[in-house]
Structure 1
Amino acid sequence: MQLLNIGFGNTVMVERIIAVINTGSSPARKLRELAKKEGRLVDVTEGRRTRSILVMDSNHVILSSVQPDTISQRMMALHPGTQLAEYYAEMAQKGKES
């Protein structure tokens, strides 16, 4: 289990992140509103501007004030030399073996 800092001392489990998206698009805004309406929205911006949206495997949507590129860099720093797709394929394979 590896934790990823998403700002202001808040962390999420790297393995549970499905997507990190920019907030500028209309679909991103719709995703945010739908999650809020359904009670699946977690806001960790501490009142600052939302810069990225994390979609989790539990269907929760997390708002962060950290740029999507920064989050991606932090994820890659946890697994140097591997691409994320390769990492998740490896994790899935380990899960099947258990």
Structure 2
Amino acid sequence: MDKVSRLTSENGVVIFSKTTCCLSYAVNILFHELRVEPVVHELDQDPEGREIEKALLRMGCNSPAVPAVFINGKLVGSTNEVMSLHLTGSLTPMLKPYQNMS
């Protein structure tokens, strides 16, 4: 979907989320602790949210499609993939260009 492509290409770190999803919240908190301010797009507050969710599933997101994390325009995955990358030390180097150092 054009909206997904546009958001992920124009912003370094994007999380597609839902306001009621505790896993989305956990991923968002992790990124803030790593000093990254992601663009968080809440699907349940977007009139096109269902279409975006279907597009994310077609792109390879697991069901449920949120959270869907994109870094540098590339789909990283959902909570399991993000946490695995974090635990192995691979997430921080991916986020380095987007970290707020202040």
Common fold: TM-score over 0.5: no
TM-score (norm 2): 0.35
Q: TM-score, normalised by structure 1?
A: 0.36
Structure with higher RCO (Cα < 8 A, 6+ apart): 2
Higher helix share: 2
Name the larger-Rg structure: 1
